[in-house]
Amino acid sequence: MNQPANPPPPSSVQSRSATRFAIGIATVVLAAAGIAFFASDGRELLRAAGDVSWYRILIPITATILSYATMAASYEGIAKAASTPIGFAAMHRITYVSNTINYMVSTGGLSGFAVRMYFFRQNGIPLGRAVTISFVQGLITNLTLLIFLIFAFIFLLTHESLSSAALASAAIALLIFTATTFLLVGLFLHAPTRRKSIRWIIGAIYSIANRLLGPARAPTKISLLRLGNNIDDGLAFMQKNGRAMIAPVAFIIADWFLTLGVLWGCFFALGLNVPFALVSVGFAIGILSTLVSITPAGIGIMESAVTTIFVALGQPLEPTIIAVILFRLIFYALPFGMSIGFFRGMFQDARKHTQLS
């Protein structure tokens, strides 16, 4: 008599269910990304693509190159404040490679963080300082993004063509981002409250993760506490080195403006002079969409979100689609191609450093 087959373990069943769920979401995302293209006129798309001015395209290309340069300068400025500078050239290469890894592997920035830590260590930066440098740059970048989002939603509220529902949504979003910004600034200025708040947030995240994911899959409390300590150390570092942080903050703000310039330049290459305030709105929506994306660099999701917001605010559909595609190619694909040239040399140098040590 044949024995009944052993049932698969619960973990295997959960893994298969999660895989099916992820595939289902990815299918919906890709379908949503294609809606804009199917809704457009193919001949108009070709006409819009033919309207691209190839000398004007140098504007977003230049802005992309400068954006990565200012990003690298911000990292090097923070490293200098931490008394561990490695030189702009080395930091520039690390910035390209780590950001490319982030775009290829969508893990909430952890993949790029791991690569950055590896090359920081290879360049002689101690692990603790390396973590601080990376966290401080991320904290300032995200705080600056919050400020950009506030101004973007203020612009939305003053835009006369929005419906009542859209105005209400923009008002709620504005309140949330403003409150979050003031909260972060307050926690930055008052260390005791900051530490108590971080411990409370860590506890809440740990409890929620255990209920939703189960003890086996939830992050450990030690790892969450380590993350909280890194955030606190980063904020304390910024307080202690206030003057030295002026230049890195300026570079990060310049980086955001240059990134906006890439998107504006893509529209300009198509003969559309979109107001910079409107560009900031579309860019902000695009950034928000990538934060909740399950695809690398928000592929599909960002394009749909940005196209939708620009069309809703009065821009023509087909040129907007082409402009968003250009932004994707220039701001993501171009640095990817440049980083390939850095990969081999960086890993060869790292291998030699390992053999010598």
In a domain, 234, yes or no: no
pTM over cut 0.85: no
Q: Specify the DSSP class assigned to residue 243.
A: G
Which residue from 82, 85, 114 is spatially nearest to 97, judged by alpha carbons?
A: 114
Is residue 278 left, alpha or beta, with left meaning phi > 0 and alpha meaning psi from -120 to 50? Answer: alpha
Look up the domain containing 47 and give its range: 43-185+249-356
CB of 294 closer than 8 Å to CB of 300:
no
- Mean pLDDT, rounded, for 111-136: 81
- Mean pLDDT, rounded, for 84-110: 77
In a domain, 20, yes or no: no
In a domain, 170, yes or no: yes
In a domain, 4, yes or no: no
In a domain, 205, yes or no: no
For 160, phi then psi, to 5°, come to -70, -25
In a domain, 225, yes or no: no
Q: What is the pLDDT of residues 224-244, one digit of tens each?
A: 787 777 777 777 887 788 788
Q: Which amino acid is at 91?
A: M
Query: Lowest mean pLDDT: which of 90-94, 232-236, 268-272?
Result: 232-236
In a domain, 28, yes or no: no
Give the separation between CA 150 and CA 179, rounded to whole angstroms. 10
Please give the pLDDT value at position 38: 53
In a domain, 36, yes or no: no
Q: How many domains does the chain have?
A: 1
